[in-house]
Amino acid sequence: MKKLSIISVFALLFILTLLVVHFKNQEEICMETPSPKHQEAKAKVVSSPRYHEDISYDVEMGEIERTSITFIMGEDKHDSDNQYYAEAEKYYRNNPNTFHEVLVTSCRSLKEIRDYLEQHPTDDGLPYGKINVIVHSNEWRGVGMSVLPDGDRMNIRNVRAAINDGSLQPLPDEVLDFETEITIYGCGLGKNEKLLSIIAEALGGKDMESPLVRSSKLFIQYASTTDESSRYLTEYWYGFFKTGYRPSNTELAQQLSSRYMDEEVEWMEALDRTEPRFPGDSYHYYFNVPVNWMVTYPDKNEMPQLSTPEEKTKWLNEQTELIAAIAEAQIPMDKFRWMFKKTTYTFDDGTTEPAIKVEGKSSILCILRSMTIENYDNPNRPLPFEPDVNDERFYTSAKANTHPPILSLK
């Protein structure tokens, strides 16, 4: 069955010389004025101290205006009630507070983002400042875009594979550097710090110039009226049930109440609504999480009998890798509807073996409530709560895993 120590006087003089040159260069930078075309649309990025090879130059550079860009990574289905991408595009095109110079709607994969940035350098020759990526995601199904065009849905494994086989080459420091901030606006993606870190590596390489990548721990929602468009951070709570076997609202409310005993949410009211009546109102929606698993056998005679529920349960409990994958997703095994099928699997070399294929499907019930603050001008229409993106309660920030060499001065 397959399956870096002592710094000498000379070194001190060297560092002082660097600082003198640094201040001279800083003065020149601050005298530059961006062209009128882009002056208002530049994002201001305050440089952090550089850290190269364990030497820290504890001096802040002046404010450098960097070009910002936003990627809308999809389009909505015509028959979908969730117009996420359409509403996001309205927000970035019409909101005067976004200050994004470029809006790109043609990319659908991480490599297409990478190639666009390389092929469209900034007008001022500086690396990009803020890069926004708008994409569907959740902590169970991952990110709703591929690594390569027409490839599989993005996850840690296939990003790593694309890096290792050279399909994803890191961008040069002239395009992205350690001051570049990439914010991926995708629901719950901030709970996957390892994925954010490997995206930083894929785009910027595994060195100290790698960009920072961040994402929200909560859901992201966009909504518009005739005169404004807003972006909301949205709290969420969830439960599970077997797809095709939806419990009653009372049973679901009991499940949610048991899972979130300290939360003040009217579960039954939220279960009665599929969309909010106003910003900050609770409501629900659900989606399915599929699982496909196959085990091959050298001979048909070695295949187990899976005729009864007990035999199927016993076989599933023996699939340790499958159980581990589902446990990582934090979905109970008994909240899946399982279907079994005997089939034949064809390997890459053309050989075949008999196999058992199992398909599982669980439905995730989400209760959503956008975070708002009081609107003193219009008490009936609360404003979006917009925390600082560096607030670790709401956002996760990651850099590539780097291993800088230790500098020994002899």
Residue keyed to tokens 């390389």 = 118
Give me the mean pLDDT over the 56-68 stretch: 60
DSSP H/E element including 288: strand 282-296
> In the structure, what pLDDT confidence band is assigned to residue 1 with cuts at 50, 70 and 90?
low
367 near 237, Cβ under 8 Å? yes
What is the percentage of the chain residues whose pLDDT exceeds 70? 81
SS3 256: helix
Adjacency order of strands within the sheet including 142-146? 137-138, 142-146, 153-154
User: What pLDDT score does 99 carry?
Assistant: 55
SS3 64: strand
- Cα–Cα distances in Å, from 29 out to 42, 48, 58, 66, 82? 15, 16, 18, 12, 45
Q: Is the pLDDT reported for residue 26 higher than 70?
A: no
> In the structure, what pLDDT confidence band is assigned to residue 95 with cuts at 50, 70 and 90?
confident
Residue keyed to tokens 């990582």 = 328
Q: Is the pLDDT reported for residue 222 higher than 50?
A: yes
291 near 322, Cβ under 8 Å? yes
**pLDDT tens, 228-251?**
889 999 999 999 999 999 999 999
Where is average pLDDT lowest: 79-83, 115-119, 175-179, 336-340? 79-83
Residue keyed to tokens 């064809």 = 346
User: What pLDDT score does 403 carry?
Assistant: 55
Handedness of CA 153, 243, 215, 325 (dihedral sign): negative
389 near 313, Cβ under 8 Å? no
| Cα atoms in the 13 Å half-sphere on the side-chain side of 399 | 14
Whole-prediction pTM: 0.75
Q: Is the pLDDT reported for residue 405 higher than 90?
A: no
Handedness of CA 196, 202, 205, 211 (dihedral sign): negative
User: What pLDDT score does 53 carry?
Assistant: 38
More confident residue, 329 or 403: 329
Give me the mean pLDDT over the 60-65 stretch: 58
* Per-chain mean pLDDT for the chain: 82
Q: Is the pLDDT reported for residue 32 higher than 70?
A: no
More confident residue, 410 or 315: 315
Q: What is the largest CA-CA distance in the chain?
A: 81
Where is average pLDDT lowest: 96-110, 142-156, 354-368? 96-110
Give me the mean pLDDT over the 323-343 stretch: 91
How far, rounded to the nearest angstrom, does the alpha carbon of residue 81 sit from its chain's CA centroid? Answer: 23
214 near 366, Cβ under 8 Å? no
Q: Is the pLDDT reported for residue 377 higher than 50?
A: yes
